[in-house]
Amino acid sequence: MKILVATEKPFAKAAVDGITDIATKAGHEVARLEKYTSKEELYAAVADADALIVRSDKVTKEVIDAAKNLKIVVRAGAGYDNLDLAACSERGIVAMNTPGQNSNAVAELALGMMVYISRNCFTPGTGTELKGKTIGIHAYGHVGKLVANLAKGFGMNVMAFDPFVPAEKIAADGVKVASSIEELYSSCNFVSLHIPATPQTKGSIGYALLSKMPKGGCLVNTARKEVINEAEMVKVLSEREDLKYITDIAPENAAEMAEKFGKRFFATPKKQGAETAEANINAGLAAANQIVKFFATGDRTFQLNK
């Protein structure tokens, strides 16, 4: 079988070598399309692929239509808002992700971003410490749980809100459970976002929640830009000169925000959350192993379009 690794943002060499090794040992062939700049390049590369590994690359209906032999697509990572699951299902293509594999990298970045913004984006002047502050974990999945743990190491108080995780499970980690999303935002100096981008969450973080944050509050986004209502973000940061926003996914209006809000706003130039050798290796090799197992035994663990 031919496995195409299509990554606009390439994996580290060790991850590519590992994927190739796993695939070739199982008798498969690996092709690579990296740093591509047009959709047409992806359409051409996927034409004869039996399996596809991607990162945040968009696997649209057009990509699926161009991939006549495709049987499986694996998003090497957690968020799968880049996959058109309906188009996959229509063609009987199995879609998977690799949950948890790059979580530690994202969690470490969330804490790093909190330190960065608390120290005036590393410019001269007096900053603040994380110790003794309260962090709210908005969604307690793989990344949220790790952020909670790291935050405890910094001496922070940790609270979480996740209607999909039983409260006892969150409390068992020594984390206070917020009874509502409003309680989370109104109680926490930092809120760290870990919600996926879905029709329900898109644009859901805006004025109503952010204006509840205590003085000096900071939103930390290592999730998705789509969950933010950007116009309302501008409004609340304009009205509340104490609030801050740091994000790993630059908003559409990043230039406007940088100009208006100075050191109260920072966006990484390109999403860095999973950009570590370790995360690339974990997610990339997991994707390769899942594909090999699928072709060998029909295993569908981690299938998203059931």
Residues within the interface to ligand 3PG (CB under 6 A): 9, 55-56, 77-79, 102, 271, 273-274
Cβ distance to ligand 3PG smaller for residue 231 or 277:
277
Cβ distance to ligand 3PG smaller for residue 80 or 294:
80
The order of strands in the sheet holding 134-138 is 176-177, 157-161, 134-138, 190-193, 218-221, 244-247, 265-267
- CB 143 to ligand 3PG: min, Å: 9
Handedness of CA 123, 241, 128, 133 (dihedral sign): negative
Cβ distance to ligand 3PG smaller for residue 12 or 258:
12
The alpha carbons of the chain give a radius of gyration, in whole angstroms, of 20
- CB 148 to ligand 3PG: min, Å: 18
Structure tokens belonging to residue 211: 């204006």
Between the alpha carbon of residue 98 and those of residues 39, 76, 113, 223, 286, the distances in Å are 24, 6, 25, 16, 6
CA pair distance 225, 303, nearest whole angstrom: 25
- CB 301 to ligand 3PG: min, Å: 17
- CB 55 to ligand 3PG: min, Å: 3
- CB 79 to ligand 3PG: min, Å: 3
Between the alpha carbon of residue 1 and those of residues 27, 92, 125, 251, 281, the distances in Å are 8, 17, 58, 39, 22
Cβ distance to ligand 3PG smaller for residue 141 or 217:
141
- CB 92 to ligand 3PG: min, Å: 25
SS3 176: strand
Minimal CA–CA distance to 111: which of 78, 150, 140? 150
Start-to-end CA distance of the chain, whole Å, equals 23
- CB 167 to ligand 3PG: min, Å: 26
Structure tokens belonging to residue 77: 């990572």
Cβ distance to ligand 3PG smaller for residue 217 or 273:
273
Output the residue with the shortest Cβ distance to ligand 3PG. Answer: 77
Cβ distance to ligand 3PG smaller for residue 133 or 271:
271
Structure tokens belonging to residue 12: 């580290």
CA pair distance 304, 306, nearest whole angstrom: 6
Cβ distance to ligand 3PG smaller for residue 79 or 217:
79
Cβ distance to ligand 3PG smaller for residue 18 or 273:
273
- CB 50 to ligand 3PG: min, Å: 22
